[in-house]
Amino acid sequence: MTKLSVNVNKIATLRNARGEDTPNVVKVALDCERFGADGITVHPRPDERHITRQDVYDLAGVVTTEFNIEGYPNERFLQLIDEVCPAQATLVPDPPGVLTSNAGWDTKQHLGLLSELAQELKGKGIRSSIFVDTKPQNIEHAAKCGVDRIELYTGPYAQMYGVDRQQAVKPYVEAANMAVELGLEINAGHDLSLENLSFFKENIPGLLEVSIGHALISDALYFGLENTVQQYQRLLAD
């Protein structure tokens, strides 16, 4: 069964709008676990516009499912990973100030850096994952750098899903097949939703985890958080 990791960045965005502590990020994360989520994802950014460094420490002390920390591997991020030691660190090539993660690594160009980081994470007992697109060259060099998993960037899939879902998923199927052959495990994330998740999951071999935040929290405004988490889990269980 594909696991659901709930990204709680949007909860922090809402809290920060008032400069107080409502909604409480830790409580929401624990509720997501209680409602059936298999993991919690955060993506702290340098400007702390949503998840703060303190949020990461607070969550690390209470999350009992898999804790996944995403981010650009600068010195500050790597120090945080070293101190918190999450179940998984997802390395994302987004520079400071970018609105959202909208591109994967050029794994050939950054092979040396990613190889070094994968080895470092392995030594700490942390699962490594890198954010990539579906280009064969990037899948190939992801395997060469020794990471445990890739996270397929699903933004283009979500954008094309309503036009032609077969064409939308095709490059992801090819990328996943190649990844499995090369010994990589597979995660996916970005703009996956109640509308497009089931079809993606049905077609992607070896899909172990999806990380979903924006759509899930938006759906929760209409359906309630508990019901929404369970709706996503039902799609992944089918």
| Catalytic residue numbers, as ranges | 43, 70, 190
Q: Between 9-16 and 25-34, two packed helices, what is the crossing angle to 10 degrees?
A: 150
DSSP annotation of 1: -
Q: Is the dihedral of CA 89, 93, 96, 102 positive or negative?
A: negative
Please state, in angstroms and as integers, the Cα–Cα distance from residue 32 to each residue in 5, 65, 162, 182, following that order: 9, 10, 29, 34
Q: Tell me the C-alpha distance between 192 and 128, whole Å.
A: 22
**Peptide bond preceding 23 in cis form (omega within 30 of 0):** yes
Give the position of tokens 């090539």. Answer: 93
